[in-house]
Amino acid sequence: MTRPAQVASPVRRMMGASLLAAGLAALSGPAWAEGEVIRAHGISTFGNLKYGPDFPHLDYVNPDAPKGGEISIWAFGSFDSMHPYTIKGRAAGLSTVFFESLLTGTADEIGSGYCLLCESLEYPEDRSWVIFHLRPEAKFSDGTPLTAEDVEFSYQTFKEKGLSSFRTELAKKVESVEVIDPHTIKFNFAAGIPTRDLPMDVGGIPVFSKAHYIANNRDFEANSLEPLLGSGAYVLGRMDVGKTVVYTYDPDYWGADLPINRGRSNFASLRIEYYADYNAAFEGFKGGSYTFRNEASSKIWATGYEFPAVQSGFVKRVALPDGSKATGQAFALNLRRDQFQDRRVREAIGLMFNFEWSNETLFYGIYQRVNSFWENTDMAAEGLPGADELALLEPLADLLPPGVLDQPAALAPVSGERQLDRKNLRRASTLLDEAGWDNVGNDGMRRNAAGETLRIEFLNDSQTFDRVINPYVENLRRLGVDAVHVRVDNAEAENRERPPAYDFDVVTTFMQTGYVPGSELRQFFGSETADSSTFNKMGLKNEAVDRLIDAVMAAESEEQMKTAVRALDRVLRAEMFWVPQWYKATHTVAYYDMYEHPDPLPPYDLGHLDFWWYNAEKAEKLKADGAF
């Protein structure tokens, strides 16, 4: 079971092309050089681009896919904003769909960004600056031209008023921005910082209309139900605030015929229906209120798909391969809390979550355990550190948690078939005794020298997670931990998890990392943003981690990067601020049988809202047969 989340995460747009398709690129597509300056149709982190300058379309799309029809999905909770780049309010799912960036990634390679709003870019070998040449035909959805001045204004706005952790990073990177002419803009990067990812970072910033922003007296830091004006393929169709939002394809979309876009944005409309809880959403799907479901509940997947629409063939239930990295889903411990300062306490808490029992009893055996922040990639730390990792780790020896240098990489504890694993209980008891929580009262709760209980609250806004958290709480209470499960609604959970409140002990979150990790590492794990980041839920402040993040970002080759990532992964895991949960290497999806998709799918994206398409004949038959 995956924790229900909003449909789209704005951080992906804001952290640039390196997050949209991060990693090492593949084969062909050379750029051409003029002296020491490279000019090309895209840029790759380390290698060459897969697609050459004259590619007709992406390999994984159907360039002849028909256009039209609607696909509808569900989202959790509600929304009261169409502005995804502020912490105020709750932005509607997919509300980043209005915006495009200079560069965009693909779903079949990693570490590459291709020109979208630009037609070419140029940069020196040291990547100390980058010039983007914009497409003259690019325009906003109101028909006005998109110019370099809009790009510069968008950059400055994100720098001054974007999410605090993001603008902190952005301010470090760029020394200056020059609008050379209406279709040319240059970013000069700051000296003394790694430049490897910077062209893709600035190339991934969403672009919106300066004129529209000023004319409507917009405030970037305020939430609003009126979206900023963008250039994307979809515009706002209709909305019922907090309940339904529909995005419609812009028939005048300027970029429809670009090779990077052929076979994509195939639906005439994208609809999202909001539900207060997971079970209500499933009932809505069964009744035809929406048409596509990416099933996150293992229980529902195993036992719930016996309803008439499935039995009659109206609804398809399929497992599709997913080659992407695990999401880093985990319980995060709030290190801002006094009770979590001792690493032994954190380790004891982790020992009491029985994944093996949960997987067999609750999840029908469909999941695998997450051990690494780079699970399901070749960048996960394994065994003892090799000489290459030690070269990075040994200079940090005084800053490292125990065992990093001379023990195998930390793995999630293995438990037995019973809910309470006695061996792990004994080990956890020893750790808490050593940490000073050794005074057990008549109520069975452990206390410290001051007489305080080891109080831990699990903050949860998902009904489907009750059956996961409640047994975990029971196990912790058997250990003598004063653990409780606190159920709140989506709005309260968001408010309590966000800065500056951070009003929680334990929450479920996603600790996302990239295939070619970059500045997002500082937002998720860096000390500088620990008290301002929306993503560093645990509030990690660790000098060794900060220095290893610098090493990852400074890597000049794929092998150097992977070595630094493995070293970082090793240290993060040893700090035990998370209790890793689970992942699966398949997309478990159900949908009314009126959609088609490329076969095979690309490895890094299901793409149901992007490059799937609507089969009008099948849809008419479903309607005629009474499926809706």
- CATH of residue 535: 3.10.105.10
Examine residue 508 and state whether it is found in any structural domain, yes or no: yes
Same domain, 166 and 54: yes
Query: Do you find a cis peptide bond into 182, omega within 30 degrees of 0?
Result: no
Question: Residue 47 pLDDT more than 80?
Answer: no
Mean pLDDT of 197-222: 96
Q: DSSP alpha helices (H): ranges in 129-209?
A: 148-161, 164-173, 198-203
Same domain, 398 and 527: yes
Mean pLDDT of 25-42: 60
**Taking the mean position of all CA atoms in its chain, how far away is CA 122?**
29
- What's the CA gap between 339 and 355, in Å, rounded? 24
Same domain, 347 and 465: yes
- Domain residues for 200? 10-62+83-215
**Confidence band, pLDDT 50/70/90 cuts, at residue 16:** very low
| 422 touches 415 (CB < 8 A) | no
Question: Residue 2 pLDDT more than 50?
Answer: yes
**Confidence band, pLDDT 50/70/90 cuts, at residue 166:** confident
Same domain, 90 and 149: yes
Residue 314, amino acid: F
- What's the CA gap between 247 and 445, in Å, rounded? 53
Phi and psi angles of residue 468, each rounded to the nearest 5 degrees, phi first: -90, -45
Examine residue 228 and state whether it is found in any structural domain, yes or no: no
Same domain, 275 and 424: no
Share the mean pLDDT of the chain.
92
Residue 507 pairs with which residues in a beta bridge?
Answer: 332
- Tokens 């048409």, located at residue: 291
Same domain, 490 and 469: yes
Which pLDDT score, from 0 to 100, does residue 24 have?
27
Which pLDDT score, from 0 to 100, does residue 162 have?
83
Domain boundary among 158, 186, 215: 215
Which pLDDT score, from 0 to 100, does residue 171 have?
80
Same domain, 503 and 411: yes
pTM (2 d.p.): 0.82
Stronger pLDDT, 567 or 4, i.e. the higher one: 567
**Confidence band, pLDDT 50/70/90 cuts, at residue 21:** very low
Question: Residue 207 pLDDT more than 90?
Answer: yes
Which pLDDT score, from 0 to 100, does residue 513 have?
85
Which pLDDT score, from 0 to 100, does residue 172 have?
84
Examine residue 593 and state whether it is found in any structural domain, yes or no: yes
- What's the CA gap between 260 and 106, in Å, rounded? 9
pLDDT digits (tens, 9 = 90+) for 429-487: 999 999 999 999 999 999 999 999 999 999 999 888 999 999 999 999 999 999 999 99
Question: Residue 6 pLDDT more than 50?
Answer: no
Question: Residue 8 pLDDT more than 50?
Answer: no
pLDDT digits (tens, 9 = 90+) for 247-263: 999 999 999 999 999 99
Q: What is the CATH number of the domain that holds 258?
A: 3.40.190.10
Same domain, 511 and 605: no
Which pLDDT score, from 0 to 100, does residue 1 have?
65
Of the listed ranges 23-37, 119-133, 567-581, the one predicted with least confidence: 23-37
Structure-derived torsion over alpha carbons of residues 278, 283, 287, 293, reported in degrees to the nearest 10: 40
Examine residue 69 and state whether it is found in any structural domain, yes or no: no
Which pLDDT score, from 0 to 100, does residue 118 have?
98
Examine residue 220 and state whether it is found in any structural domain, yes or no: no
Examine residue 71 and state whether it is found in any structural domain, yes or no: no
Same domain, 518 and 570: yes
Same domain, 525 and 542: yes
Which pLDDT score, from 0 to 100, does residue 348 have?
98
Tokens read off for 504 = 């929680």
Examine residue 67 and state whether it is found in any structural domain, yes or no: no
Domain boundary among 181, 215, 249: 215
Which pLDDT score, from 0 to 100, does residue 11 have?
29
Question: Residue 92 pLDDT more than 90?
Answer: yes
Question: Residue 26 pLDDT more than 50?
Answer: no
Percent of the chain with pLDDT strictly greater than 70: 94
Same domain, 205 and 246: no
Number of domains observed in the structure of the chain: 3
pLDDT digits (tens, 9 = 90+) for 353-391: 999 999 999 999 999 999 999 999 999 999 999 999 999
Eight-state DSSP code of residue 338: G
- What's the CA gap between 577 and 298, in Å, rounded? 26
Examine residue 40 and state whether it is found in any structural domain, yes or no: yes
Domain boundary among 180, 215, 250: 215
Same domain, 147 and 272: no
